[in-house]
């Protein structure tokens, strides 16, 4: 009896292994990164160098509609950064956001590595990538595979009408940390916005909620731009972006965000003068 059970288990094991291998081969053949890379970067070389850029995300998403992602840019690279693309290979719209950095970001006081963090939607098991372009045109990439699915079609946490009623509430918080240096500042942008993807079904009507999402953010200290962002549907509901920068002065920090309907949202945060 035992030998028979072991024989059946061996057959089942062989079958599952074969299926796994076939699925793995199909997955590899269907790798979207090859086409994405060509369409976004042509044939340019992309270096994977953790001494330039790193990305951090959970191995498995607790909630695929709200997945935290943190990008770290090495101190030695900050003065040369031009732009950064956050990309999720298997999302319906793979480009999550494109950040373009201003002179004020590049030329700010040295505070060590810079951090840029947000929350994203993962629609299928996928590799999440951050591709940094420097002023000389070189490209550097960091990536992380994240297990999660259904994030782009997951229902909003609030009823659509309620979400729209709260739309536009903003906060901009700025904090300092003496241990990190007198010029070190961390800012957090928070916007109440459902960031509808166009793939979410309204449970009351049975119809899809039209897409409406934050597609632009510009951050300035005084009159100097730190960075701007062009965003898409893969940024989570209630966008939340945290970043560090070097404060050269006590000029206020401010951001202006725009959504796809043309609505604008602003907030200002005070900065204490570097001691």
Domain CATH number, residue 56:
2.60.40.2470
Q: Is residue 274, in this structure, part of any structural domain at all?
A: no
Work out the end-to-end distance of the chain between its first and last CA atoms, rounded to an integer number of angstroms: 80
pLDDT higher than threshold 90 for residue 26: no
Q: What's the mean pLDDT in 99-103?
A: 97
Per-residue pLDDT, averaged over 248-254, amounts to: 94
pTM of this structure: 0.87
- For residue 162, name the pLDDT band (cuts at 50, 70, 90): confident
Is 136 within the bounds of a domain? Answer: yes
As a whole number, mean pLDDT of residues 164-188 equals 92
In a domain, 218, yes or no: yes
In a domain, 22, yes or no: no
Confidence of residue 16 (pLDDT cuts 50, 70, 90): very low
For residue 179, give the DSSP letter.
Answer: G
The pLDDT of residue 30: 83
Look at residue 94 and tell me if it is in a domain.
Answer: yes
CA nearest neighbour of 251 among 220, 219, 218, 221 = 221
Residues composing the chain = 275
Tell me the CA distances in angstroms from 113 to 51, 76, 243, one per residue in order.
10, 8, 11
pLDDT for the residue numbered 23: 39
What three-state secondary structure class fits 22?
helix
Q: Residue 247 and residue 10: Cα distance in Å, rounded?
A: 64
b (16+ CB within 10 A) / e for 121-160: bbbbbbbbbbbbbeeeebbbbbbbebebeebbbbebeeeb
Q: What percent of the chain has pLDDT over 70?
A: 89
Nearest residue to 96 via CA among 257, 213, 245, 256: 213
pLDDT tens per residue, range 27-76:
445 899 999 999 999 999 999 999 999 999 999 999 999 999 999 999 99
Where in the sequence is the domain holding 233, given as residue range(s)?
33-269
Q: Does residue 91 fall inside a structural domain?
A: yes
What is the Cα–Cα distance from 144 to 64, expressed in whole angstroms?
15
Q: Which parts of 146-261 fold into alpha helices (H)? A: 160-165
Q: Are strands 240-246 and 114-120 parallel, antiparallel or unpaired?
A: antiparallel
Instruction: Indicate if the alpha-carbon torsion angle 68, 94, 124, 163 is positive or negative.
Output: positive
Query: Is there a domain that residue 260 lies in?
Result: yes
Structural domains in the chain (count): 1
Confidence at residue 91, expressed as pLDDT on a 0 to 100 scale: 98
pLDDT reported for residue 275: 66
Residues 219-234: pLDDT tens digits? 999 999 999 999 999 9
Q: Is residue 23 part of a domain?
A: no
Per-residue pLDDT at 112 exceeds 60: yes
């Amino acid at each position: 009896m035992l030998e028979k059970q072991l024989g059946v288990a061996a057959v089942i094991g062989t079958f599952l292994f074969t299926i796994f291998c076939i699925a793995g081969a199909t997955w590899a053949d269907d790798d979207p990164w090859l086409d994405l890379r060509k369409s976004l970067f042509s044939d340019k070389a992309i270096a994977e160098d953790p001494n330039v850029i790193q990305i951090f995300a959970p191995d498995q998403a607790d909630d695929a509609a709200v997945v935290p992602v943190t990008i770290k840019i090495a101190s030695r690279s900050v003065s040369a950064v031009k732009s950064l693309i956050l990309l999720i290979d298997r999302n319906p719209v793979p480009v999550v956001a494109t950040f373009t950095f201003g002179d004020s970001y590049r030329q700010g006081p040295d505070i060590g590595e810079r951090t840029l963090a947000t929350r994203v939607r993962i629609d299928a098991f996928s590799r999440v990538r951050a591709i940094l372009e420097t002023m000389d045109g070189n490209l550097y990439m960091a990536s992380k595979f994240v297990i999660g699915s259904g994030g782009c079609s997951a229902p909003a946490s609030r009823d659509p009408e309620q979400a729209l009623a709260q739309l536009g509430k903003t906060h901009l918080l700025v904090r300092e940390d003496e241990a990190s240096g007198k010029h070190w500042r961390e800012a957090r942008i928070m916007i109440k916005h459902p960031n509808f993807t166009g793939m979410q079904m309204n449970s009351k009507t049975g119809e899809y909620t039209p897409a409406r999402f934050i597609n632009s953010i510009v951050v300035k200290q005084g009159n100097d731009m730190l960075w701007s962002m062009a965003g898409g549907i893969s940024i989570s509901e209630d966008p939340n972006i945290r970043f560090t920068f070097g404060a050269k002065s006590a000029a206020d920090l401010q951001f202006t965000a725009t959504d796809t309907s043309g609505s604008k949202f602003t907030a200002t945060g005070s900065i204490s003068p570097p001691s």
